[in-house]
Amino acid sequence: MIPGMTQTPAALTPDALLMHHDTGQLWPGPQAALIDQGLPGAYRLALQVRALRLARGEQPRGFKIGFTNRGIWARYNVFAPIWGTVYDTGLHHADPDGHADVPLTATCQPRIEPEAVFGLRHGVRPGSGLAELFDAIDWVAPGFEVVQSHLPGWSFEAADTVADGALHARLLVGLPTPVRSWAADAATLQAGLAACRVRLLRNGEPVDEGSGQAVLDDPLSALHHFVQALAGQPDAPALKAGDVVTTGTWTDAWPIAPGQTWQADFDAPLGRLTARFTA
């Protein structure tokens, strides 16, 4: 704890964190200084919140990897990737035309990130290499992650982001492409996704653009980093068949609001994804 700072006893309980998630209310103030064991303590808190969410009936559907885009590290004062859980209550799928309505109910300062999402056909053992990860992947799809921060102005430290559910709020998954219909091996997948570009539009107007190379050089490398991080976290859940993993934003994270329509035009094999945000 920072000298002179007074700890609010309830501020970082798992129940309090879940309440702020459910209501969309800001946290009462900076919390990283109150996490006296840094990132390990923040992950323990996040896993306790996960247990509360499972106990009330929510189902984990996979994971998000955050801060894989090195280009935004200095902007957000987080200098390494993080991870968190994706739940059934926040997971959405686009229709056959690549469109979906996504509610922003109870989100806090939401922003949008265009990403590549993997779907797994079987579990992944700790220490898996790139070839083994390629074998575990069933499909790849375009995605929009809605991220959020419960600290004012998106001003935080790394431990805050982990305790804040890895900033995850929603995940929209677009139309999946079977990986083996497009890439014969891990190296081909890496090269193809690294070269793939995305153009991000709000209400038809261009906002940003990026590429798969932004996320730790390519999304498969981001997944590989995550597998190693997961193996090193005590009590962390394992990757399993059917999990989705969203691998990090290709652009900056942009503020969103109900009534807006956002579109990501990815190069092949990902294609177009459109989200209309509702209250």
Residue 246 belongs to a domain: yes
The pLDDT assigned to 5 comes to 31
For 262, counting Cβ atoms within 10 Å of its Cβ (0-12 exposed, 13-18 middle, 19+ buried), the class is: buried
Residue 54 belongs to a domain: yes
Residue 47 belongs to a domain: yes
Alpha-carbon dihedral of residues 107, 108, 111, 115, nearest 10 degrees?
Answer: -60
Residue 5 belongs to a domain: no
Q: Is the pLDDT of residue 12 over 90?
A: no
Q: Which of 53-67, 227-241, 256-270 has the lowest mean pLDDT?
A: 227-241
Residue 170 belongs to a domain: yes
Q: Domain containing 38: what range?
A: 14-278
What CATH number is given to the structural domain containing 89?
Answer: 3.90.850.10
> What total number of domains does the chain contain?
1
Question: DSSP code of 18?
Answer: H
Q: Which residues contact 33 (CB under 8 A, 6 or more apart)?
A: 1, 2, 5
Interval 56-98: pLDDT, tens: 999 999 999 999 999 999 999 999 999 999 999 999 999 999 9
Residue 1 belongs to a domain: no
Residue 150 belongs to a domain: yes
